[in-house]
Structure 1
Amino acid sequence: MDHQLLSILFVCACTFLGGLIDAIAGGGGLITLPAYLAIGLPPHLATGTNKCSSTLGTLVAGLRYLKKGKIHLKSAIAASVMSLIGSFLGARLNLFVDEKYLSYVLIAVVPVITVLILFKKDPQPGQFKLKSDLTIIVLAMLCGFGIGVYDGFFGPGTGTFLIFCFTGIIGFDAVTSSGNAKLINFCSNLAAFITFAVHGKIIYSIGLPAAAAGIAGNWLGAGLALRYSAKVIKPMLVVSVLLLLGKIIYDLIL
């Protein structure tokens, strides 16, 4: 079989799996980006092509959550705006601070997050209504800004951390938290996708087939999350944070 076809099939399989996980719990990029690098794409082309597939997949997952009323639009939009600002500042910070220092912090923090995910009871739907609208918006803006800084500075696992913030800090149930994370991820992905496209850093012959596979994975993942709620989201969150921990340790060793 042709080598290029095998490469595309490999990437498509990875983007389907990554999309499935990402639609439920975030962290799909921990699978998809290494797949592009594994077939020999240079880092900038790999990142740009990955944004091509992930942006479309995230859009489909987000629309499915939105259709079922599982996105709290006011907080998601507020967090999206602040995440873009935070991402810009995080990228600037990255120019002056070595990423390895954040890696050391994450090695300590990620296991704690894993334990909290496993043992924290999922908030009941509507529990967040105990907070005022203003409180929810302010908390969402703070979460969006903080995660945006992280995304711009480091990046991996952003969607997973967003879900954790929406459940643990604001009090949304797992499904609404995942839906909100999709909208925020879509905004940041779209901005990055446009940037890479303008600079010619996307290989569409690979990115478009991968996008189709990613759309299928995201569609299925969103459906599973909407149907089974925390029963499927919690295990996938654990998978995502463990993948993140593995990547951090791997990068530090090498």
Structure 2
Amino acid sequence: MDSVSEQIVLFIVSLVANLLSALAGGGAGLLQLPALLFLGLPFSVALATHKVASVFLGIGATSRHIRSSKLNLRFVSIILVFGLPGVILGANLILQLDDRWAQIALGVLTLGLGIYSGLKPELGQSSSAKHQTLPGLLVGGIVLFFIGVLNGSLTSGTGLFVTIWLIVWFGFDYKAAVAYTLVLVGIFWNGVGAWTLGVQGQIEWSWLPALILGSLIGGYLGAHFSIVRGNQLVKRSFEIVTVLVGIALIAKAI
């Protein structure tokens, strides 16, 4: 594959992955990271490169969400204070794992995410605040810490895990949870993860222009469609893709 064709493929993959991610509230890694692996990057390099590009998903989505969403400082603080240490821990752990086992873990996590999401078709259709006391906030924060560990290491669908957790535990509706995920996970979690991995690992800089452009455009368009049209059809399509990608990754690693 020549360099021009490579950049076109990377842009298309990034655009589709980030559009779906912005619609569903996470999951760009479900398509983008496996694509980087299939194109030949080692796992640690693919993960670091994907993390950098994912920051621009957050920027693209935020530029749309910021006009129609108001973030509560309490939940912003919980997501950042508990989540960021987990991201740093996970990013340091993943560099110690063998690529093959990391791919199997990624495949299993991706497959499980697709199945779980498929069993919850009406998740987050209405808001109902709950677990707003200190114990409830602490439990919610601790779970966000462990999701942060996954975000820093395996990265597959962890944004969607945050979205689902905000809905299930705190009672957010889908649109509000997506806004928090894309702004805070997309920019801050992924930014810290990218920095941690970049310092210790490698980044494929020549692939980033196409990935960043696709992330910006896909993030903005996905956020726009999630706000004005909803996401039932895309959510179902996304679940099918997660299952297929999970199976493919497990098969490739084995």
The residue aligned with 1:170 is 170
Superposed CA deviations along residues 84-134 of structure 1, whole A, max 9, x for unmatched, are: 22234445666599769967975895465134322x453424x22x55364
CA gap 1:243/1:59 in 2 versus in 1, 3 angstroms:
farther
Which residue of structure 1 aligns with residue 7 of structure 2?
8
For the aligned residue pairs, the C-alpha RMSD in angstroms reads 3.4
Structure 2 CA distance for partners of 1:144 and 1:158, relative to 1, 3 Å: same
* Residues 201-210 or 39-48, more deviating: 39-48
Give the letter for the 1:30 counterpart.
Answer: L
In 1, Cα distance between the equivalents of 2:71 and 2:243?
Answer: 26
The letter of the residue matching 1:173 is: D
Greater Cα shift, 223-232 or 136-145: 136-145
Q: Distance in 2 between matches of 1:105 and 1:213?
A: 27
Structure 1 stretches of 5 or more lacking a match?
none
Separation in 1, partners of 2:51, 2:156: 13
Does residue 42 of structure 2 align to residue 45 of structure 1?
Answer: no
Aligned pair count reads 249
Residue 151 (structure 1) shift: 2.7
Deviation at 1:160, TM superposition (A): 1.5
SS at match of 2:202: coil
User: Which position in structure 1 is the counterpart of 2:22?
Assistant: 23
Match in the other structure for 2:59: 59
Summarize the alignment of residues 64-213 of structure 1 with structure 2, pairs less than 5 Å apart.
Answer: 64-69=64-69, 71-90=71-90, 106=109, 109-110=112-113, 113-118=116-121, 120-125=122-127, 127-128=128-129, 131-132=131-132, 134=134, 137-182=137-182, 183-198=184-199, 201-213=202-214
TM-score, normalising length from structure 2? 0.79
Shift of 1:70: 5.3
TM-score, length-scaled by structure 1? 0.79
> Retained in 2: the 8 A contact 1:27–1:157?
yes
AA partner of residue 225 (structure 1): S
Shift of 1:153: 4.6
**Contact 1:86-1:146 within 8 A present in 2 as well:** yes
- Residues 1:101 and 1:207: Cα distance change in structure 2 (over 3 Å): closer
Change (3 A) 1:135 1:103: same
Whether contact under 8 Å (1:91, 1:152) holds in the other structure is yes
Q: Which runs of 5+ in 2 are unaligned?
A: none
1:28 partner letter = A
Over 3 Å counting, the alpha-carbon distance change for 1:200 and 1:157 in structure 2 is closer
